Amino acid sequence: MVTQRKPKASKYLITPTRPVQVDRDRSVAGLLEKMEGTGFGGRQLAEAHRIWLDMLGDNTTIMVAGSGALIPAGMRRLLAYVIKNRFVDVLVLSGSLLFHDLHETLGRQHFQAHPSMTDAELESAQIGRMWDVLASEEEYHEASEWVGQFTNQLDQSRPYSTREYLHLLGRELAEIATEDGVLTSAYKSRVPVFCPTMADSGISLGIAASRFEKKNNFQFDLVQDVLDMTQIAAKARVTGVINIGGGAALVEHYEIAAYRGLVGQAQALGLTEALPLLQQNLQQEEQTAQRLENAAPMMLQKAAIA
125 occurs within a structural domain? yes
Helix axes 202-212, 95-105, angle to 10 degrees: 80
Kindly provide the b/e burial profile for residues 52-63, where b requires at least 16 CB atoms within 10 angstroms of the residue's own CB.
beebeeeebbbb
Whole-angstrom distance, CA of residue 140 vs CA of residue 279 = 44
272 occurs within a structural domain? no
The residue range of the domain holding 220 is 48-247
185 occurs within a structural domain? yes
274 occurs within a structural domain? no
pLDDT of residue 284: 67
pLDDT of residue 249: 52
pLDDT of residue 301: 46
**Regions of the chain where pLDDT drops below 50:** 247-248, 296-306
Burial (0-12, 13-18, 19+ Cβ within 10 Å), 286: middle
- Write the pLDDT tens digit of every residue in 56-106: 888 899 999 888 889 999 999 999 999 999 999 999 998 989 999 999 999
CA angle 277, 280, 284 (to 5 degrees): 140
CATH number at residue 238: 3.40.910.10
Q: Quote the mean pLDDT of the chain.
A: 84
186 occurs within a structural domain? yes
pLDDT of residue 246: 61
pLDDT of residue 305: 45
182 occurs within a structural domain? yes
Q: How many domains does one find in the chain?
A: 1
306 occurs within a structural domain? no
CA angle 84, 150, 98 (to 5 degrees): 40
153 occurs within a structural domain? yes
